[in-house]
Amino acid sequence: MTSTSQPLIRLEGIQKVFYTDEVETHALSEVHLEVQRGEYVAIAGPSGCGKTTLLSLLGLLDTPTGGEYWLDGKPVAQLSPAERARIRNLEIGFIFQAFNLIGDLTVYENVELPLTYRGMAPAERKQRVMSALEKVGMSHRVKHYPAQLSGGQQQRVAVARAVAGEPLILLADEPTGNLDSTNGEAVMHLLQELHRGGATICMVTHDSRYERHADRAIHLFDGRMVGDRALELVPA
C-alpha cells in the first residue's frame, strides 16, 4: 500500500544525454526533484534549458540516460514498454502547446478517444466526457470540429481530454504558447481551478506571468536545476 506521505514524483540524479554526429548534448544533468500529490509546479527557464526534455521523462515519453525515477512509489526503469503505455493512458494527462486535436473528430470524439482504449463502457465514457467538457466551459460545442474553434477553445478541449481520464498527474507543455494573452490567462485560471479541485500539475513555461499561477517554481539552466521556490498564490 502506498504511503500518503510518499512523493508522487521522485527524481534522483536524472541525466539525459543526446548523441548526434559524435557530439554529446547534456540536456539534463543531476536533476533531483520531488513533487507531492496536489502540488502545482511550474518548470521554468530559457529556451533550450531542458524543460520539455524533463516533462517528456516525467510523462514516460522518453527514458533518462542515468539516475532514478519513481512514479507513485514505483521505479519507472523496471517498467516494460506495455506497462509504460498503460500508465500514460491511465495515470498521466498531457496538455500540449499545439493542442494536438484530431481534425476529423468532433470535440466530443476528441475527448472520448483516450477513454476508448481503456475498454470503458459507453455510458461511463459519456459521463466522463460531458463532465470534463463542462469543467472547461465547452459542453455546448460537442458537435463542432477543431477547425470551427478558436485557439483558446481548442486548448480548452485539449484540457478536457487530459482530465477526462482522471489522471494522477497533469503535464502541460507551454499550454499558452499558441494563445494570445487573454486566452492564455483564461487557460491559466482553468488549470488553477483544476489544481484547487485536487489535481497535481507540472507545467513547462518560459513566461513569468504564467509561472506565478503555480504554487512552486523549478528553474532550469543548461540542464541543471538552479532554483526551487514557493510562490504566492495568484487569485483566480
Nearest to 66 by CA among 35, 19, 25, 29: 29
Give how far the C-alpha of residue 15 lies from the chain's centroid of Cα atoms, to the nearest Å.
Answer: 20
pLDDT for 146: 97
The pLDDT of residue 236 is 54
Q: What is the pLDDT of residue 143?
A: 97
Rounded to whole angstroms, what are the CA distances from 26 to 16, 17, 73, 227? 6, 5, 27, 19
Q: pLDDT digit of tens for each residue in the chain (236 aa)? A: 344 578 999 999 999 999 888 888 899 999 999 999 999 999 999 888 999 999 999 999 999 999 999 999 999 998 999 999 999 989 999 999 999 999 999 999 999 999 998 888 999 999 999 999 999 999 999 999 999 999 999 999 999 999 999 899 999 999 999 999 899 999 999 999 999 999 999 999 988 888 989 999 999 999 999 999 998 766 55
Specify the CATH number for 38-64+74-230; select among 2.10.25.10, 3.40.50.300, 3.90.1300.10, 3.40.640.10: 3.40.50.300
Are the C-beta atoms of 136 and 159 separated by less than 8 Å? yes
- H-helix or E-strand spanning residue 57: helix 51-58
Provide the whole-model pTM: 0.89
pLDDT, residue 233, reads 65
Residue in the block written with cell 512523493: 7
| pLDDT for residue 49 | 92
Q: How far is it, in rounded angstroms, from Cα 215 to Cα 218?
A: 10
Q: Residue 162: its pLDDT value, please?
A: 94
Alpha-helix residue ranges (DSSP H) falling in 92-216: 107-116, 122-135, 151-164, 181-196, 208-211
Q: Where are the domains of the chain?
A: 38-64+74-230
